[in-house]
Structure 1
Amino acid sequence: MLDLLASNANLATELLERTSSTLRVQEIVRLSLAPVFLLAAIGAIMNVMMTRLIWVADRIERLEHRMEQEHTAREERELEWLRHRRKLAQRAVMFSTGAGLTICVVVALLFVSAFIRPQIGTLTAIAWIGTMILLITGLLLFARETIVAARGYRGKDQP
């Protein structure tokens, strides 16, 4: 990058002129606040998701350890139910992580777009829409996992 700037003095001068405007930088920082607040919210949601995922994984591990000695059909069904919950929670975390990553891309694109001539507003909008799709999918999977958990495990010997 430095070689490119050194070899093309006009490019370096132009880049410095574009980034020297404090008002322009302040405007970009202001525009990036909404995505950053969304990123913080995604982090908070993911904390809850991870807590649930860790609990389910720990329960599976304890059940599998207990089943090494002897197991019943009921324990096998419960293990299958817990594995289903784990799969839903893992997917929710993965989609939410993807949403967090694309939010970071949105913020980067906002800054880059302020300092380059070809406008990349369409790319920024696509990244924002991608974020929303990933976040909605993650939240739906999380909601599904909580519904499965709220219904509880029902073995054949339970009503």
Structure 2
Amino acid sequence: MDLQLSNIGEAIQLATAPVFLLAGVGTMLIVLTNRLGRLIDRSRVLEERLKMRQESDDVGELLNLHHRARLINVGIAASTACGLLICVVIATLFLEGTTDLPLDQYIVLCFVGGMLALIVGFVYLMREIVVCCSFMRAQQLAALAGCGATGR
């Protein structure tokens, strides 16, 4: 194993591109965890209200929040798996560039797995947003119907 400075430089250059992807995955995780935090805060408020008095609106909203939290948890798990796989890609690229080990198949497998996990994360983020918007629209329509107005 002959480590040349040029080999190390090339390995670092190769491993730099996935680092930008990793930064994007980190941003995605921030978005998902912020949404989960807001759901948890809202759930606590509703649970306190339910302890004081029983209202079916609060129960329905609490069930909706629970469903949304499950969707976000899957998104967080998938995005974390993507981040881990991209880290493995970076390490494997560096290892392949500095040694004579043929690791191309592992790199491709980890990268494709990471992309599939990222796709799952985005799909679940979108599902959670759709559920959120649908519930919000249903609440708006109920409020409008309660005051005699009509919504489009």
TM range (shorter): 0.7 to 0.9
Q: Which runs of 5+ in 1 are unaligned?
A: 1-13
CA deviations on 1:122-159 (whole Å, 9 max, x unpaired) are: 0110000110010000010001111111223435x816
Q: RMSD over aligned Cα, in angstroms?
A: 1.5
Question: Would you say 1:69 and 2:56 are equivalent positions?
Answer: no
Code of the residue aligned with 1:98 in structure 2: it is A
Question: Would you say 1:33 and 2:9 are equivalent positions?
Answer: no
CA deviations on 1:96-117 (whole Å, 9 max, x unpaired) are: 0110011100011111122333
CA deviations on 1:75-110 (whole Å, 9 max, x unpaired) are: 111111111111111111111011001110001111
Greater RCO structure (CA 8 Å; 6+ sep): 2
Question: Would you say 1:50 and 2:67 are equivalent positions?
Answer: no
Q: Which runs of 5+ in 2 are unaligned?
A: 146-152
Cα drift, residue 120 of structure 1: 1.1
More divergent stretch after superposition (31-40 vs 106-115): 106-115
CA distance in 1, matches of 2:54, 2:64: 15
Code of the residue aligned with 2:46 in structure 1: it is L
More divergent stretch after superposition (45-54 vs 125-134): 45-54
- Name the TM-score, length of structure 1 as normaliser: 0.83
Q: Secondary structure at the match of 1:84?
A: helix
- In structure 1, the residue matched to 2:135 is 152
CA distance in 2, matches of 1:89, 1:140: 10
Of structures 1 and 2, the larger Rg is shown by 1
Q: How many residues align?
A: 141
Question: Would you say 1:130 and 2:113 are equivalent positions?
Answer: yes
Identical counterparts, % of pairs: 30
Question: Would you say 1:24 and 2:7 are equivalent positions?
Answer: yes
Cα drift, residue 40 of structure 1: 0.3
